Structure 1
Amino acid sequence: MAYISLPVVTVQRDFNDVVRDVDEGVVPVDTFWVSCYKSGESSVHAKVDVELDEVDRNLLRFRSKEGDVDFVKSDSVSGYSIACRSLDIPPTAVVLPIQEYNDSERTNPLRPQRITAFDVSPDTTRFATGHLDGSVVIYPSASTSIQQVNTSKCKLVSKAHVSNVSSLTFFPSSRVLLSTGADFSLSILSSEFPESWSESSSGLGTRVNPVRVLRAHTRGVTSACILGLGRNIISSSLDKTLRLWDVPTGDVIHTLEASAPILCTSNGPRTPTPPDGEDTPLAETQDEREMPEVAHTLTYTGLQSGSFEVFDLGTRISIYKSPSAVGGSPINAISILPAQHLLATGAGDGVVTLYDVRSLSSPLTSFRRNDAGINDLDFSPGSTNSECGLAIATTDGLPYVASIIPEGPGVSTELIGVDCDPVQSVRVRNKSEIWSASDDAIVRRYIL
């Protein structure tokens, strides 16, 4: 299907410093730049002057030197919005991170140890990063009043894999972490912090070893999902398999075969009527190591071939496989929002496609901003069931939130702060928090 072209709005990364200098009287007037893009049309670039009002010295005035662009201080939480009349771009919120987590051991600008995997615990008290060398680092999150957080000393460090860490997922307790790697294995790590960080004062962190390593895949493991409280997990691999694991014993309970190497997964509840319209009874024999939730779970997989495939863990079969998009760009990211019956896929050519899981054969819509690949997706539920957004991490370093319902697709929020580095991961927590991790090895926390 044809896709909708969405615009890009970006602003000078340190524009807030420019605004602050004028507001505090450091300089009487200063300037920052704004750029707007839309596929197939000429880009618009503008310089925006900021100065104090001549009468009300507590009021800031923003004036664009090019008339097409409007930069406005708004009443929203984000504080600012940008519109461009010539490109027909409506007011779009621009949001700076409220926190940046910087581990000086890993963010050397000359040789940053880029983040290849990332997750935030369900209770947001900690987050974890994975790296190309197979290391996993777990950090405590800080009070939101701290903007620049140096995390070099307070951390748990594990050499969980011998090569690239491909995914990280916290268990529901927030005290245990699951990692997957290109070394064909999965590792389970404790994320309990020590009572004192004195032993990590050297900056190397407190060393921890995996409490369990799971091996059975014959190629790199790409992702994993935790079922229920975590006795069972499901993993995917470039060996074209999904494997259901019993965590206490480390055994594989079942293996399901996909039609192509699997790059990403997302779990959702079993639908009353499968996408193909034919209901298959549950498997007659249930392994005693399977928790009850396994039988009621569907696993949605993004494939290297450009298709996605749906597996019913209760019947242990594939129940739907989508056609490949033109060009067969791989599906790098997949996310489901069960409450809204929504599925989103993100492809290597930048196309995001939305589906109703009750009718997967007819996509709801497709959109993209440019040809920058999609690295990660996470739904951002609104305050009501009639609202929904989608946080999107891209290879061009321009992450954003797309509005989905009630209006959409459109760009509701631009996430500012990354300097052209690919954003590898994005996570939504507590509805209004968005966390991201990028190749500059910095973790950013936004509040919408």
Structure 2
Amino acid sequence: MSSSNSLTLPVITVQHTYPDVIHEVKQGIIPSEKFWVSCYKIGEQSFHGKVYVELDEVNRDLVVLKPEEEGLEVQAEGKCAYKISCKSLGIALTKVVSSIQNYCDPERSNSRRPQRITAFDISPDSSRFATGYLDGTVLLYPTTPLPSSLSPLPQSITTAKGRTISRPHLSSVISLKFFPSSRVLLSSGLDFSLNILPADLPDFSATETRVTPARTLRAHTRSVTSTAIISVGRNIVSSSLDSTIKLWDVSSGSVITSISSAAPILCMRLGDRMPTPPDGEESPVVVQNDLEVPETQSKVVFCGLQNGSYEQLDLGSKRSVYRSSVSSSSPVTSIAYSDSCNLLATGSSTGLVTLYDIRSLDTPLTSFSRTEGGVEDLDFTSTSEEVGLAIATTDGLPYIASIIPEGPGVAAELIGVDCDPVRNIRVRGGEIWSASDDGIVRRYIA
């Protein structure tokens, strides 16, 4: 689906320091203050307004928000979120969420010279997270439990003490992925290699702990763009700009098989093959190797390609089983796959997000965009009744799109970044984690 046929979603931006304004008024530090709100939609006149913040005249524990411009509405939604609507652009009440924790390493997130986070992952048990950088460094930090009482002001956490540091790559770290145990980390980089790193929580008695890779894997001939872990981690998968997917045996460090794609691979997602093939398709003939774990036979990989298409590779049959048409010259820079919901989402370098039902990949379900900022990362959110898509973008305006039962639309704006690109986003239960070019990791409850 081309961008000309896609839906255009609106954007609500709020002064990124608005939680500080509300906090200072509530604490009596200042009697009142204002913060700005701007609303945009491509092809329509933008809206700019201000919200006046003061304490209620009767209940001095209650903060009152009063829009100064007609047509702008603001409602409180708990302690860390608000809902904003804009009549002139037809924007219904939309949740605006500030982060509840900001993790800052003073050496990496200095506001004058921040070091861009190029790769990020949060462990499956949410006890630790890892960040990668342009210089090939990987840092591991413990997370901090959520405060018992949430506040509009994000909890700022200094992460330098107790961190674990390694430098497994000669240049930029491209991807990080925790093993299911949360105690091992897989990294890939611009130097064509993959590294398996110990990820035990650091000793708090030391300022930092240094570790070296337990194993280095080399076989790709260009940058390794993404990785995935099968089952407990005996087999792993990697994608590369050399246009191949490689299946690895971790214990020996050897390549089990290599599957070629139609073009350089920019992103990849692993998932389960559909139990029943779509009409007209035969079940794949499984080609098994002694080094493969049984779970590998049922896995498929969706790859986002540099030529603007995507491809499905089957790890059981060791072959390509589907290749989309090239509908745009824009590279597919991000991809997400939910086998439980039968959904695939792709994001492009020009901001286009396209959604597919994996049972009928030839026809997109829908396509949407907000700005021309590239889509850097995607991850599905889901509850028993709703399915959404967390979206990280180069314009510094991350958001959650609603998909099911109503969509596409903007379910929540994730506020806190001041124009810096957000390149990584992860969903863990009801939480959203993001990492951006300002060197800060943010934790949201959406």
Q: TM-score range by the shorter chain?
A: over 0.9
- Contact 2:25–2:32 at 8 Å: present in 1 too? yes
Q: Is there any run of 5+ residues in structure 1 with no aligned partner, and where?
A: none
- Contact 2:274–2:339 at 8 Å: present in 1 too? no
Structure 1 residues 274 and 259: CA distance shift in structure 2, 3 A: farther
Query: Equivalents in 2 of 1:277, 1:215: separation in Å?
Result: 39
Query: Matched residue of 2:256: which SS?
Result: strand
Query: Equivalents in 2 of 1:395, 1:225: separation in Å?
Result: 24
Structure 1 residues 276 and 78: CA distance shift in structure 2, 3 A: farther
Query: Equivalents in 2 of 1:91, 1:135: separation in Å?
Result: 42
Question: Match for 2:307 among 305, 308, 324?
Answer: 305
Give yes or no for the alignment of 1:434 onto 2:432.
yes
Query: Equivalents in 2 of 1:277, 1:159: separation in Å?
Result: 49
Q: Is there any run of 5+ residues in structure 2 with no aligned partner, and where?
A: 148-153
Give yes or no for the alignment of 1:227 onto 2:234.
no
- Contact 1:426–1:435 at 8 Å: present in 2 too? yes
Query: Equivalents in 2 of 1:419, 1:409: separation in Å?
Result: 26
What's 2:199 paired with?
191
- Contact 1:275–1:320 at 8 Å: present in 2 too? no
What's 2:172 paired with?
164
What's 1:402 paired with?
401
Amino acid in structure 2 at the alignment position of 1:155: R
What's 2:35 paired with?
32
Query: Equivalents in 2 of 1:154, 1:325: separation in Å?
Result: 48
Give yes or no for the alignment of 1:122 onto 2:124.
yes
Structure 1 residues 65 and 281: CA distance shift in structure 2, 3 A: closer
Give yes or no for the alignment of 1:271 onto 2:274.
yes
Amino acid in structure 2 at the alignment position of 1:409: P
Query: Equivalents in 1 of 2:87, 2:49: separation in Å?
Result: 12
Query: Equivalents in 1 of 2:234, 2:36: separation in Å?
Result: 52
After superposition, give the CA deviation of every residue in 1:234-270 in whole Å (9 maximum; x if it has no partner). 1000000000000000000001000000011111111
Query: Equivalents in 2 of 1:23, 1:78: separation in Å?
Result: 14
Query: Equivalents in 2 of 1:57, 1:280: separation in Å?
Result: 67
Query: Matched residue of 1:198: which SS?
Result: coil
Query: Matched residue of 2:340: which SS?
Result: helix
Amino acid in structure 1 at the alignment position of 2:22: V
- Contact 1:274–1:319 at 8 Å: present in 2 too? no
Query: Equivalents in 1 of 2:318, 2:242: separation in Å?
Result: 18
Amino acid in structure 2 at the alignment position of 1:159: R
Structure 1 residues 424 and 275: CA distance shift in structure 2, 3 A: farther
What's 2:136 paired with?
134
Amino acid in structure 2 at the alignment position of 1:231: R
Query: Matched residue of 1:186: which SS?
Result: strand
Question: Match for 2:187 among 169, 173, 179?
Answer: 179
Q: CA deviation at 1:156?
A: 0.8
What's 1:283 paired with?
286
After superposition, give the CA deviation of every residue in 1:372-402 in whole Å (9 maximum; x if it has no partner). 00000000112x1x31111000000110000
What's 2:150 paired with?
none
Query: Equivalents in 2 of 1:186, 1:423: separation in Å?
Result: 24
Query: Equivalents in 2 of 1:320, 1:150: separation in Å?
Result: 46
What's 1:413 paired with?
412
Q: CA deviation at 1:275?
A: 5.8
Q: CA deviation at 1:280?
A: 4.6
Structure 1 residues 281 and 338: CA distance shift in structure 2, 3 A: closer
Q: CA RMSD in A?
A: 1.4
Give yes or no for the alignment of 1:338 onto 2:346.
no
Question: Match for 1:79 among 81, 90, 98?
Answer: 81
- Contact 1:156–1:206 at 8 Å: present in 2 too? yes
Amino acid in structure 2 at the alignment position of 1:377: L
TM-score under structure 1 length normalisation: 0.95
Amino acid in structure 1 at the alignment position of 2:410: V
State which drifts further: 14-23 or 217-226: 14-23
- Contact 1:273–1:279 at 8 Å: present in 2 too? no
What's 1:447 paired with?
445
After superposition, give the CA deviation of every residue in 1:21-47 in whole Å (9 maximum; x if it has no partner). 222333332111101001100110001
Amino acid in structure 1 at the alignment position of 2:233: G
Structure 1 residues 364 and 78: CA distance shift in structure 2, 3 A: farther
Structure 1 residues 135 and 42: CA distance shift in structure 2, 3 A: same
Q: CA deviation at 1:61?
A: 2.5
- Contact 1:119–1:128 at 8 Å: present in 2 too? yes
Q: CA deviation at 1:283?
A: 3.4
Identity between Structure 1 and Structure 2 (%): 55
Query: Equivalents in 2 of 1:414, 1:166: separation in Å?
Result: 26
Query: Equivalents in 1 of 2:280, 2:324: separation in Å?
Result: 14
- Contact 1:276–1:319 at 8 Å: present in 2 too? no
Matches for 1:368-407 after TM superposition, within 5 Å: 368-382=369-383, 384=384, 386-407=385-406
Q: CA deviation at 1:273?
A: 4.6
What's 2:211 paired with?
208
Give yes or no for the alignment of 1:422 onto 2:421.
yes
After superposition, give the CA deviation of every residue in 1:353-374 in whole Å (9 maximum; x if it has no partner). 1111111111100000010000
Query: Equivalents in 1 of 2:444, 2:418: separation in Å?
Result: 16
Query: Equivalents in 2 of 1:234, 1:215: separation in Å?
Result: 13
Structure 1 residues 416 and 372: CA distance shift in structure 2, 3 A: same
